[in-house]
Structure 1
């Protein structure tokens, strides 16, 4: 379970007593990301905005990296928004809805993927939710929830609580066949799993960068297929979203044809520098190499959970999971175990009725071993 350990030791300087198993919440910054932020801050303090054009070149590089991450060669379709919730809101309140239409999704979604669709109720749009606890075929049951009034299927690629990974290609094929738009929240998969825009059939892809991509909070990917960019109504306006943003005296303006039309104001260039550096690490290692490394760590955890007689709540089949492993210790309340783990430097989350561990490719076997030993000790105590 190693990957040129010396290289990773140079990139991740985590406290050896800390078991960081919370990439599904907020991932640690690699050293190169910390250094990029420090350089940006130092240059800003010493030179002001003299290097602004170079900062914008970094932003351009980031758009290309994000496009490659989702399997696209069209960086013009990438917008940089504040977070996943904002991106979902742009879609929800940009589509030209008709009264009586509906959105199909999943009941156990993170609140951002419920609230934004529920907010359409005053416009006569209904959110129809699949209960995963009652489904043995989530893709088939999602499609079965659709009717002639379904305008959009909106789901997370990987469910945040227990880590169920959906077969996007199956859902996407159904959407194309029935003229339904397909929105994918990829926040729990990008950086951990290969993503194919073509195979998924997604019309919209959204994801914050602060989880599996090792980036900062406050910057998110928003992909809108060219066919839908112009049809999404705009509700945020400013100097940056126009076709000629450098012409401050123009009065006859039009929105930019690129996805930048959804970016109303000044870019978050500090976060841009951070995320661009983090994605350079993912590209250096390679997502095709990262995915099996994460799978190894998840397999290790499942074996350790089984050996101790704990209850696995995450899917057991590798094709049904990404990097999230949620489990429960019998006769021990997760509400009690979680704060005890955090107090003992096991960085995790309480989700889906259990304890959620989310290792990344750099997580060592020593970290996993120490974390499970602490779980066992605290459960007995």
Structure 2
């Protein structure tokens, strides 16, 4: 599938410019159609859809597993990324004085669960500052490893500027040293190639509403099968043990795969829409999506610098390897963006713009014209 076809799968009206895709992206046409499909069937058929929607949730899980690079039975769905991270952090078997290492610049939905888990279990959260240019070289993490380090938990792509941690290289080290390696992949999955097994990552979490172009409301946790038995369910319900139709029994035992972390009913519309968008990404090819996104972001950054804006980035201007462009605004910049109905995010040092592969060159130029 070509990038041109990919772009055609998104609403291309000129009344809005979506430049906060690193925050909340529009959903794809396949996601929209899937929502309408199930809404109509639920309206017309009710319970008679039961077996079919369960199957569609399964196919969505399988598609997501291909994108992550894991098995489908290693994935559990949640309401949000924060819920998925909390499941792992709160139930990870930390002992007093154990250490969890993370970047100091982590987003709250990743940082706070690990902070709370360490507080409750009297473990130590070790915060590592990025470099002045906000880059995240793994040597800074490696320097903090001690014999008490039990978990390294960090984001693959940082939300401020798109700085990327070398997960594959760090995974080799954590695997050799027996350290549990958890990665928040919400800012990268669907945008950059990822391989959980090849990169020796023990668990990942993320959400549906950024580079997966699907509705808000789905988080996911993928955890390597060898660790599933060590982690207890944070929330417990009928689906922890079986299905909603199983007779109640106080002797039941949890499932043996990641589905034990799903306590009850699924958010079917959102999960199946996610599956539809993931299928679009798989058919288009992540490398093709990455190439187009970086091309557009590079044009945006170069134009901003030519307009005499200061850009905060860990990447050089001739090798801008991020979808995000964070710049220091001038007095008129915010009002200028609002005047053309362009969304943005205030993040860290400045204003963050994040075009996507569906973005047009015309919208890039329109933004640059008002930011002169």
Give the TM-score category using the shorter length. over 0.9
CA–CA distance in structure 1, aligned partners of residues 335 and 112 of structure 2: 28
Aligned partner of 1:368 in structure 2 is 364
Aligned partner of 1:229 in structure 2 is 228
How far off its partner does 1:196 sit?
1.2
Secondary structure, aligned partner of 2:356: coil
Aligned pair count? Answer: 369
Structure 2: state its 5+ residue gaps: none
How far off its partner does 1:122 sit?
3.3
CA–CA distance in structure 1, aligned partners of residues 246 and 174 of structure 2: 41
Which stretches of structure 1, 4 residues or longer, exceed 4 Å deviation after superposition? 134-137, 317-320
How far off its partner does 1:265 sit?
0.8
Secondary structure, aligned partner of 2:91: coil
How far off its partner does 1:340 sit?
5.0
Secondary structure, aligned partner of 1:145: coil
Aligned partner of 1:291 in structure 2 is 290
Secondary structure, aligned partner of 1:222: strand
Secondary structure, aligned partner of 2:143: helix
CA separation of 1:371/1:258 partners in 2, compared to 1, >3 Å: closer, same or farther? Answer: same
CA separation of 1:235/1:32 partners in 2, compared to 1, >3 Å: closer, same or farther? Answer: closer
Aligned partner of 1:126 in structure 2 is 124
User: Alpha-carbon deviations, 1:54-104, whole Å to 9, x = none?
Assistant: 1011101111111100122x1100111111111111111111111001110
Provide TM-score, normalisation by structure 2.
Answer: 0.94
CA separation of 1:9/1:69 partners in 2, compared to 1, >3 Å: closer, same or farther? Answer: closer
How far off its partner does 1:15 sit?
2.6
Secondary structure, aligned partner of 1:278: helix
How far off its partner does 1:243 sit?
4.1
CA–CA distance in structure 2, aligned partners of residues 121 and 354 of structure 1: 32
Report if the CA contact (8 A) 1:240-1:263 is conserved.
yes
Task: Please show how residues 240-255 of structure 1 align to structure 2 within 5 Å.
Answer: 240-243=239-242, 246-255=245-254
Aligned partner of 2:59 in structure 1 is 61
CA–CA distance in structure 1, aligned partners of residues 287 and 337 of structure 2: 32
Cα RMSD (Å): 2.0
Moved more, 318-327 or 160-169: 318-327
Aligned partner of 1:86 in structure 2 is 83
User: Alpha-carbon deviations, 1:129-186, whole Å to 9, x = none?
Assistant: 1111458763001111121111101110000011101100121111112111011000
CA–CA distance in structure 2, aligned partners of residues 166 and 319 of structure 1: 16
User: Alpha-carbon deviations, 1:187-206, whole Å to 9, x = none?
Assistant: 00001001011332111110
Secondary structure, aligned partner of 1:20: coil
CA separation of 1:136/1:292 partners in 2, compared to 1, >3 Å: closer, same or farther? Answer: closer
Moved more, 134-143 or 95-104: 134-143
Aligned partner of 2:310 in structure 1 is 311
